[in-house]
């Protein structure tokens, strides 16, 4: 059972540019269904990893409300699919302008709900999302069909591109604006309508996405934003995937959850776009600029507390420079994540237990700690300082498991071939990095690494709207971003006729 609420001109509790935590104990984050904000009787608490305290409540979508969102998207689809590209372009551009106007509000929601630093929210996530909206808006008119030549005289054909219909996008908490907006912006640009299911860990970040699009003039029903209690995840998600109105699914999140969703999509014979976990390697060749490589590896491993699917997980360094590189890496760690800075915040306590267990297992099997102290205690249960583990081997869990936290392995290698062999010795394949002063060598190595992206002389964490983004192996399939992102949500139709 749901009830409709109104904001009374306060932008949902963020009135007169006041801090969003002013209404912390009284506010319930609403869903966004068919152009209306819906506050449900069933809610859940949202706690901040910064303080460990409840900051507000959030509405929890029921199965029936989720179906209502699907039906709203289906009802809106015929009209939205017929809109001219210029109409869709202008709405996306206006959404970008509104997000820019509400920049501080968006960043504060991300900081308090996910524990991100200003560098991650204000410095990257929000501005990149603003640019993403502008980029996809400018690409809408470039998606066109074509006219092939038929083999038989007197016959002609044309290939047209058309939207699928209702798209179900699922986005995680760690980069809610980039990942939440991209789950729907490319689909909307192609003429589809959407349901966006945001993480229960950062519902207010996802709520504002819906509000921004609505304020930009997106017709009711074209975008519906929902979230739910953890206990309702299976029922709600399965019901939406199975619904006959839903034509395609996109999911960004863990490989384990992605596998379950892929099975359900396969059973329903529905296409799915997936961007999943990673175990990104960074290969440091013997001619690399070591200070530059060390700084990039430190940032790539520990930006956002290592809670990024592209985070550097294994540093593979030539044995001839391993000692020197280790010195530079420790220096880079001290400069960026040293004792004078607060310990990084993780989304909650379980990832810390996971990372400490991985380190403990590695050390028990012969690895050593190059930097950090796994036994250190911090002021809160959601903080952990970065750990660099050296001499990690394939017998250790850390070698194979995505840590998704502030832990990285340093592995000396005897050759370029060994580095590539270890880099590819994983079920993941999302991102990677190579450091060398020889571009030809960098390109040679890049072609042999089994990842969706390779970044030469840059950290493995690299995502921008103009670059197709996605993985290989168990890191997923399909591509977000750029023109490829729009094409993911268009299907081809062949039309022939007799002249």
CA–CA dist 419, 360 (Å, integer): 25
Question: 37, 105, 275, 313: which one is catalytic?
Answer: 275
- CA dist 63 to 68, 239, 295, Å? 9, 7, 47
- Structural contact between residues 161 and 145, judged by C-beta atoms closer than 8 angstroms: yes
Decide if 309 is catalytic: yes
Q: Is the dihedral of CA 340, 344, 349, 351 positive or negative?
A: negative
β strands within 15-135, DSSP E: 28-29, 31-33, 36-40, 43-47, 54-59
- CA dist 90 to 87, 94, 140, Å? 5, 6, 10
CA 217 to chain centre: 26
β strands within 123-279, DSSP E: 155-163, 166-170, 193-197, 223-226, 246-252, 272-275
Looking at the DSSP assignment, which residues form a beta bridge with residue 411? 316
CA 478 to chain centre: 14
Alpha helix (H) residue ranges in 303-394? 322-337, 350-364
Start-to-end C-alpha separation, the chain: 57
Question: 106, 205, 297, 309: which one is catalytic?
Answer: 309
Residue 264 burial by CB count (10 A; 0-12/13-18/19+): exposed, middle or buried? middle
Q: Starting at the earlier edge strand, list the strands of the sheet with 193-197.
A: 2-4, 36-40, 31-33, 223-226, 193-197, 166-170, 246-252, 272-275, 476-477
365 CB neighbour count, 10 Å cutoff = 15
CA–CA dist 125, 117 (Å, integer): 11
Decide if 275 is catalytic: yes
What amino acid positions are annotated as catalytic residues?
275, 309
């Amino acid at each position: 059972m749901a009830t409709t609420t109104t904001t009374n001109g306060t932008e949902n509790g963020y009135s007169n540019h006041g801090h969003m935590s002013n209404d912390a104990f009284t506010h319930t984050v609403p869903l966004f269904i068919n152009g209306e904000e819906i506050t449900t009787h069933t809610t859940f608490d949202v706690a901040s990893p910064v303080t460990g305290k409840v900051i507000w409540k959030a509405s929890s979508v029921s199965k029936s409300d989720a179906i209502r969102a699907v039906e709203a998207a289906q009802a809106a689809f015929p009209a939205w699919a017929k809109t001219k590209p210029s109409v869709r372009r202008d709405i996306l551009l206006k959404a970008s302008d509104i997000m820019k106007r509400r920049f501080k509000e968006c960043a504060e929601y991300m900081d308090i709900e996910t524990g991100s630093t200003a560098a991650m929210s204000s410095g990257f996530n929000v501005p990149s999302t603003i640019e993403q909206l502008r980029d996809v808006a400018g690409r809408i008119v470039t998606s066109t069909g074509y006219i092939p030549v038929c083999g038989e005289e007197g016959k002609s054909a044309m290939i047209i591109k058309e939207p699928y219909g209702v798209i179900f996008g699922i986005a995680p908490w760690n980069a809610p604006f980039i990942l939440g907006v991209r789950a729907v912006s490319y689909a909307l640009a192609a003429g589809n309508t959407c349901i966006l299911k945001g993480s229960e860990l950062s519902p207010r970040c996802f709520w504002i996405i819906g509000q921004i699009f609505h304020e930009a003039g997106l017709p009711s029903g074209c975008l519906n934003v929902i979230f739910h209690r953890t206990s309702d995840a299976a029922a709600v998600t399965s019901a939406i995937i199975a619904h006959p109105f839903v034509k395609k699914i996109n999911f960004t999140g863990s490989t384990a959850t992605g596998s379950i969703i892929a099975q359900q999509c396969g059973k329903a014979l529905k296409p799915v776009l997936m961007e999943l976990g990673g175990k990104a390697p960074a290969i440091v060749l013997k001619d690399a600029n070591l200070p530059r490589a060390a700084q990039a590896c430190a940032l790539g491993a520990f930006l956002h507390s290592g809670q990024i699917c592209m985070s550097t997980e294994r540093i593979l360094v030539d044995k001839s420079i391993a000692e020197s590189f280790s010195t530079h890496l420790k220096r880079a760690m001290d400069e960026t994540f040293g004792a004078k800075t607060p310990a990084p915040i993780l989304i909650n306590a379980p990832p810390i237990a996971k990372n400490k267990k991985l380190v403990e297992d590695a050390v028990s099997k012969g690895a050593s700690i190059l930097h950090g102290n796994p036994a250190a205690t911090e002021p809160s249960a959601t903080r952990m300082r970065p750990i660099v583990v050296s001499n990690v081997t394939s017998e250790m869990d850390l070698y194979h498991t995505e840590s998704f936290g502030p832990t990285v392995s340093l592995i000396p290698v005897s050759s370029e071939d060994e580095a590539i062999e270890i880099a590819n010795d994983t079920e993941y394949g999302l991102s990677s990095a190579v450091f060398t002063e020889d571009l030809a060598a960098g390109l040679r190595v890049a072609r042999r690494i089994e990842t969706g992206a390779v970044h030469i002389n840059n950290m493995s964490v690299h995502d921008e709207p103009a670059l197709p983004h996605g993985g290989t192996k168990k890191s997923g399939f399909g591509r977000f971003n750029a023109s490829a992102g729009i094409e993911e949500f268009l299907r081809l139709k062949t039309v022939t006729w007799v002249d």
